[in-house]
């Protein structure tokens, strides 16, 4: 281990590690643009200049390896002057676009100029004119004038996605970033380039001119798009979701997230979302109050189970439910309906070797572990579909809309002949349209709970948007369970109480407490046998 001194603070570092990450990890802040912890070192911005004792000139901290006995100064007059100079030169050609630039408020050029730069520009030259509003790809808009040529985006496309669409063209002060001729920035992670862009050059089209960032409240939660469970910050303002940005978690998503995942926030305030239970009366679905919807759902399912036996009843769970909800759902189906025909429906899609997983829902693994799977001699999802096609089922309880993708159109049409079809979903799907009772669920942004990703990491979903009195999926399960005579915790839905019940009864959760699942999640014990 190498012992170094930065600003009079003694730090033990791994020899060979670079000075900048060592300083940052130890709480010494050095401003930087081109350095990114997950990308190769470029050394192009020259902002992280520091003074190292014994070296004749200032040196960039991002590309200087730590050496035993090194004495570094990051705050002396010489360093401050160099920094001021670098920032002044970066601003010589930077347009005064802040009032119309989406990055304003989270722009590192603004922040560092304010903290380390000079108050007013001295340059009398005309600013260089380059292209504005360049359409780089389906999700990215680019402003060449605002670019400071740190090349983070170029390195990202070379090193992380390995698609190399971007490059720096031209020489000297005529250099600019652009896509190679004939290509477009259309990889699955293209918006990450806007995240790592320290200025407002690369911007997400989806968020472009929608809201100033200082109005956003950010909640640390999990992307519900696939089984990876990327850590995200969900930006909301006045109870509406506006954008989702990745949050660093080296065990899950490093600092990236896919473009598809960024769109998942759009369901939260979707105008077509169901808000009140629907009940079929004289052939059409009409809105009813919650008490009536729940009572009808419970009596339809309960009667069918009593009259035709549990084998004629089936239930389909959703991998969008949290662990706690899945646990109570499985309990409700097994004890309330006595039914072994229970399985999980998950939409499958594309996967890649970076982040994207095939299961397009967050909690497939968690739901299966907590009992949303066929019981002994119970039917699985395909079996339920087959039984439906043969007319062997009388009652079905479907949570989520993913079963649509698993069953054929003929099977879906058979749903109309069921005596009882209770559907719980955010939207009216082809299954919901044929239901006797439809109960509206809540989206990932409106509930609290835990989810387990594909690798068995337990992570927290946090409430970012207030559901404004709409009961959560957990409340629906509790209500149905009480009506069907299943013993559940008293009061309204509380994931913490259910979690302690899970921790007491499921092996992999033993000893885990709800509060101990921090912002980065925890690894669940590996199940043996």
Contact residues for other proteins (CB under 8 A)? 98-100, 104, 132-133, 208-212, 214-215
Give the nearer residue to other proteins in terms of CB position, either 143 or 178: 143
Please check whether residue 27 is in contact with residue 11, taking contact to mean a CB–CB distance below 8 angstroms.
no
CB of residue 107 vs other proteins: minimum separation in angstroms?
A: 13
Give the nearer residue to other proteins in terms of CB position, either 211 or 295: 211
Backbone angles phi, psi at 202, to 5 degrees: -100, 125
CB of residue 241 vs other proteins: minimum separation in angstroms?
A: 17
CB of residue 100 vs other proteins: minimum separation in angstroms?
A: 4
Give the nearer residue to other proteins in terms of CB position, either 180 or 215: 215
Reading across the β-sheet that carries 134-135, which strands appear in turn? 134-135, 140-142, 202-204
Give the nearer residue to other proteins in terms of CB position, either 218 or 254: 218
- Rounded Cα–Cα distance for residues 273 and 307 (Å): 34
The DSSP result for 166-227, as a single string, is: EEEESSGGG-EEEEPTT--S-STTTHHHHHH-SSSSEEETTTTTT--GGG-EEEEEE--SST
CB of residue 469 vs other proteins: minimum separation in angstroms?
A: 24
The helix (H) or strand (E) run that includes residue 502 is helix 495-505
Specify burial of residue 455 (Cβ count, 10 A radius: 0-12, 13-18, 19+). middle
Picking from 349, 227, 359, 297, the residue whose alpha carbon sits closest to that of residue 483 is: 297
Contacts of 8 (CB under 8 A, 6+ apart): none
Contacts of 375 (CB under 8 A, 6+ apart): 334, 340, 341, 342
CB of residue 25 vs other proteins: minimum separation in angstroms?
A: 34
- Rounded Cα–Cα distance for residues 478 and 501 (Å): 14
Give the nearer residue to other proteins in terms of CB position, either 212 or 306: 212
Give the nearer residue to other proteins in terms of CB position, either 129 or 510: 129
CB of residue 218 vs other proteins: minimum separation in angstroms?
A: 17
Which tokens is 386 given?
Answer: 């087959």
- Rounded Cα–Cα distance for residues 213 and 204 (Å): 13
Give the nearer residue to other proteins in terms of CB position, either 205 or 273: 205
CB of residue 136 vs other proteins: minimum separation in angstroms?
A: 16
CB of residue 210 vs other proteins: minimum separation in angstroms?
A: 7
CB of residue 211 vs other proteins: minimum separation in angstroms?
A: 8
Total length of the chain: 529
Characterise 511 by phi-psi region: left (phi > 0), alpha (psi -120 to 50), beta (else). left
CB-based contacts of 94-98 (< 8 A; 24+ apart in sequence): 94/127, 94/145, 94/146, 94/148, 94/199, 95/127, 95/145, 95/146, 97/143, 97/145, 97/146, 97/200
Give the nearer residue to other proteins in terms of CB position, either 99 or 283: 99
Q: What 3-state class would DSSP assign to 519?
A: coil
Give the nearer residue to other proteins in terms of CB position, either 54 or 271: 271
Give the nearer residue to other proteins in terms of CB position, either 17 or 96: 96
- Rounded Cα–Cα distance for residues 5 and 436 (Å): 71
CB of residue 139 vs other proteins: minimum separation in angstroms?
A: 15
């Amino acid at each position: 281990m190498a012992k170094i001194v930065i600003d009079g603070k003694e730090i033990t570092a791994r020899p060979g590690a670079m000075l900048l990450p060592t300083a940052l990890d130890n709480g010494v802040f050095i401003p930087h643009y081109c350095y990114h912890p997950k990308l190769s070192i470029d050394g192009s911005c020259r902002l992280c200049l520091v003074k190292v004792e014994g070296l004749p000139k200032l040196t960039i901290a991002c590309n200087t390896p730590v050496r035993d006995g090194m004495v570094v100064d990051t705050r002396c007059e010489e360093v401050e002057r160099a920094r001021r100079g670098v920032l002044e030169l970066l601003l010589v050609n930077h347009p005064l676009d802040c009032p119309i630039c989406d990055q304003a408020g989270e722009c590192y050029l603004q922040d560092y100029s304010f903290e380390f730069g000079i108050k007013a520009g001295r340059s009398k030259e005309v600013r260089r004119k380059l292209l504005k509003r360049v359409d780089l790809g389906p999700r990215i808009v680019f402003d060449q004038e605002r670019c400071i040529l740190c090349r983070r985006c170029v390195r990202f496309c070379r090193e992380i996605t390995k698609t190399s669409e971007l490059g720096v063209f031209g020489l000297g002060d005529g250099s600019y970033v652009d896509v190679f001729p004939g290509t477009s920035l259309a990889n699955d992670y293209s918006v990450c380039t806007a995240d790592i862009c320290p200025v407002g050059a690369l911007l997400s089209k989806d968020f472009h001119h929608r809201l100033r960032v200082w109005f956003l409240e950010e909640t640390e939660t999990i992307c519900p798009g696939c089984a990876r469970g990327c850590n995200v910050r969900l930006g909301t303002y006045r109870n509406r979701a506006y954008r989702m940005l990745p949050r660093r978690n080296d065990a899950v998503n490093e600092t990236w997230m896919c473009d598809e995942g960024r769109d998942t926030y759009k369901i939260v305030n979707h105008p077509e979302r169901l808000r009140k239970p629907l009940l079929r009366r004289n052939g059409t679905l009409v809105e009813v109050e919650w008490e009536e919807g729940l009572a009808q759902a419970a009596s339809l399912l309960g009667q069918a189970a009593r009259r035709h036996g549990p084998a004629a009843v089936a239930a389909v769970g959703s991998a969008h439910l949290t662990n706690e909800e899945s646990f109570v759902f499985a309990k409700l189906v097994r004890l309330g309906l006595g039914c072994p025909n229970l399985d999980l429906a998950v939409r499958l899609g594309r996967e890649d070797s970076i982040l994207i997983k095939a299961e397009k829902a967050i909690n497939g693994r968690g739901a299966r572990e907590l009992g949303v799977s066929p019981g002994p001699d119970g039917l699985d999802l395909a079996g339920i579909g087959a039984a439906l096609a043969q007319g062997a089922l009388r009652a079905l309880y479907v949570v989520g809309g993913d079963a649509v993708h698993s069953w054929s159109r003929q099977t879906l049409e058979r749903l109309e002949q069921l005596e009882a079809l209770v559907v719980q979903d955010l939207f009216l799907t082809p299954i919901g349209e044929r239901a006797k009772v439809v109960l509206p669920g809540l989206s990932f942004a409106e509930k609290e709970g835990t989810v387990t990703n594909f690798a068995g990491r337990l992570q927290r979903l946090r409430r970012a948007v207030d559901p404004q009195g709409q009961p959560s999926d957990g409340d629906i399960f509790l209500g149905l369970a009480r009506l069907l005579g299943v013993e559940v915790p008293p009061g309204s839905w509380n994931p913490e109480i259910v979690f302690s019940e899970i921790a007491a009864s499921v092996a992999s959760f033993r000893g885990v407490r709800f509060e101990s699942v921090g912002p980065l999640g925890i690894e669940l014990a590996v199940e043996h046998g």
